[in-house]
Amino acid sequence: EILHVLAKHDTKIVFSARDLTAAEKVVAKIKAVTPSAEITYYKLDLSSLPSVKAFADEVKASGVQPNGLILGAGTMATPFCKTVDGFETQFGTNHVAHYLLTRLLIDNFVANAPTRVVVLSSVAHNLLSFLLTRYTCYPNSSRFKGVNFSDPNFTTHPYEKWESYGQSKTANIPFAYELKLYAPKGVEAFSVHSVDPDAASAPHRHGVYKLRVGTIWTRQYGILCRKAPRRRCGRFQHPSLGKGGVYLEDVRVSSPTTAKAKDSKAAERLCSINVKKYL
């Protein structure tokens, strides 16, 4: 849906996909509605940092001059497993891969400024803390405090899927804050909350039915799920934002309520994650 909205506004689009056959079908659907759409795609598997590097290399080699990046792919509440590089899957996919991709393309964004990076975080950085402290099915919920820097990959403590998801989405916020360093060079970065209206139907998002995420988030936070794709694009295109490194909800500057999400030192610690060999 995000691609459909952008295509209607004469945006040249490059998107990623694990399944190139599925990607071709997406292109066909978009062009059926917007025949003039300029859209292409490259293969990308966020559970593999070599794949992230290959995608970035293809984008650079294509000669495209990027003006923006929406980091919206990810996984939610999955059973425990690890990425190709040994990261816990949700943390590795939702944060580490996006961090690396941005770092690999940052010089391109500087060269084509003004540019904008949108990191799709989630109100889950706060909502999950609320849920985990109130549901007895999570006996270790009291330890949920954001990013567990001592053990982000659950190697020494029991895995909880929602704790992992909340951690990965909390990491998105200081990540965007860290990108504020590029603001003087014309690069704005934002972490945003936007409910995915297809969340309950996505096969990689386990447990969504049990928590009725759309209902909870709509009633508790006033988010209208059916408008989410357009609002994501609004954050990407709105000309009046005028500041970077902030957290947004409903196309407005908000404030993350989880203390760890507002930790100014967290961004620096997240940058220490070992992805240097790909840079």
- Give, in degrees to the nearest 5, the angle at Cα 65 between 60 and 70: 85
Q: Which residue has the higher pLDDT, 247 or 171?
A: 171
Q: Which positions are annotated as active-site residues?
A: 165
Angle between helices 213-221 and 124-132 (to 10 degrees): 110
Q: Are 96 and 73 within 8 A, CB to CB?
A: no
pLDDT band per the 50, 70, 90 thresholds, residue 210: very low
Q: Are 187 and 178 within 8 A, CB to CB?
A: no
Q: How far apart are CA 109 and CA 119, in angstroms?
A: 15
> The tokens of 43 are what?
């293969």
Residues paired with 71 in a beta bridge: 119
Q: How far apart are CA 220 and CA 124, in angstroms?
A: 12
State whether CATH 3.30.565.10 applies to domain 67-278.
Answer: no
Mapping DSSP to helix (H, G, I), strand (E, B) and coil, where does residue 122 land? coil
Count of H-run helices and E-run strands, the chain = 11, 7
Strand-pair category, 252-254 with 246-249: antiparallel
pLDDT band per the 50, 70, 90 thresholds, residue 121: low
- Give, in degrees to the nearest 5, the angle at Cα 76 between 75 and 80: 90
Q: Which residue has the higher pLDDT, 145 or 146?
A: 146
Q: Match 């290399």 to its residue by tokens.
A: 57
The pLDDT value given to residue 263:
63
The pLDDT value given to residue 239:
46
> The tokens of 216 are what?
């909870």
Q: Match 């929602």 to its residue by tokens.
A: 162
Tell me the pLDDT tens digit for each residue of 224-247. 333 444 444 444 444 445 554 444
Tell me the pLDDT tens digit for each residue of 68-119. 898 887 788 899 999 999 999 999 998 999 999 999 999 999 999 998 888 8
> The tokens of 236 are what?
């990407």
Q: Which residue ranges make up each domain of the chain? A: 67-278
Q: Is residue 58 predicted with pLDDT exceeding 80?
A: yes
What residues contact 32, with CB distance under 8 A and at least 6 apart? none
Residues paired with 135 in a beta bridge: none
Q: What is the pTM of this model?
A: 0.77
Strand-pair category, 115-120 with 68-71: parallel
